[in-house]
Amino acid sequence: MSRSNGRSVLLAAAVVAAAAVLVVPDPAGAIPAFARKYRMSCTTCHAPVPRLKPYGEDFAGSAFRLEDKEPKRFFPDTGDDLLTLQRELPVAVRFDGYASYDHGEDEKRSDFRMPYGIKLLSGGNVSEHVGYYFYFYLSERGEVAGVEDAYLHFNDLFGIDLDVMAGQFQVCDPLFKRELRLTYEDYVAYKIRVGDSPVNLAYDRGFMVTFGSDFGLDAVFEAVNGNGIGAAENERFDDDHIRNFMLRLSQSAGPARIGAFGYYGDTEMKKSAGPVSDVVYYWGIDGTLDVGERLQLNGQYLRRTDDNPYFQTSGAVECETIGGIAELIFAPQGDRSRHWFVLLYNYIDSQMPGLDYRSETVSYSLLLRRNLRLLAETTFSETDESWRITGGFVSAF
């Protein structure tokens, strides 16, 4: 595919997806431990791994519990109605590895990125309406990264479709889950930080409250620290006393859904003259459209404003950043397909120097086994006119 033709296809996908609408992903993905517990194939929840099907989204949204299908043998009788213990602790492993070749004007190099990541995952039930999920990165890009996703999930509070998650999660989870994407190329707009601000839409600590209605309207509210998931200092995880908040509303209509969100954050930094703050606003729209069972269009547009990203005591300059993604996923045989094709477009345009980014990605996946996916991918970066060719595998067991 030529540069011009590839860009035309991806930009067309961006236009269609921006006008399309979105299915809200639930806050976690199933793992092979659940397949062992329920004696089901991974394809029951995934198409392909790690991407969730609607059934997998419902399972995750029910705090990892299948109503009327819970195997009694999995929960021993403790003689205490207030104690639910799993006979075996559900544990699974995800193991990813890649080889890449980068071709730029100034540098050409190959690299074996193996293992790129090794995760130890666990999830299950604390009671009928309480679940847990976490994973520990034994290795992420050659380092021990520690715990990322980790939370308790309280399901169907007060007998209605009201859930609360408490712990660590990604702020963007109600939009598009980065952990469940099929490409090696990331959803870059969710990760960027502007100036010295620690705020982005990736990992943070706090609470997520979700509510679903019978007529397709869903609401998600988040309250987070606003400074990521770094180590605590003096037993405090947050750098200041201020909370950040996010609200998202979405409406479904048949195979389509449209969503909108707003985010407010106020981060303080201590200076000799006193605390200085940077107020951050995000707003955005997102959407997904399923065209039959073979084609899905996803789109995200977001706008971020920082009023003092370098925490200057005087002469603060406001900075605006626009970003988004457009994604087209094609499966020739629907959710039973072993061949998957993805076109992904990343876009960032910022007044902050060094943050601009545009890339086009063409990705192909072959499902060798239900829990082993091979990947071949090419990404062209318009920003520095470079190419990256990637091949590898995603496995879970």
* pLDDT confidence of residue 239: 82
Q: Are 283 and 262 in contact (CB under 8 A)?
A: yes
Contacts of 124 (CB under 8 A, 6+ apart): 33, 37, 64, 86, 89, 90, 131, 132
Weakest-pLDDT range from 42-51, 101-110, 277-286:
42-51
Mean pLDDT of 63-91: 77
35-39, 296-300, 305-309: least confidently modelled range: 35-39
56-65, 104-113, 116-125, 314-323: the lowest-pLDDT one = 56-65
Q: What is the pLDDT of residue 352?
A: 95
pLDDT at position 314: 87
Per the structure, the complete domain to which residue 339 belongs is given by 3-396
pLDDT per residue over 134-178, tens digit each? 999 998 888 888 999 999 999 999 989 999 999 999 999 999 999
393 CB-near residues (< 8 Å, 6+ apart): 96, 97, 98, 372, 373, 374, 375
pLDDT per residue as tens digits for the range 310-325: 999 888 899 999 999 9
What pLDDT, on a 0 to 100 scale, did the predictor assign at position 88?
80
- Report the number of distinct structural domains present in the chain: 1
Dist. CA 369–CA 397, nearest whole Å:
11
Supply the pLDDT for residue 229.
93
**Model pTM greater than 0.95?**
no
The model's confidence at residue 39, banded by pLDDT at 50, 70 and 90, is: low
Average pLDDT, the chain: 86
Q: What is the CATH number of the domain that holds 122?
A: 2.40.160.10
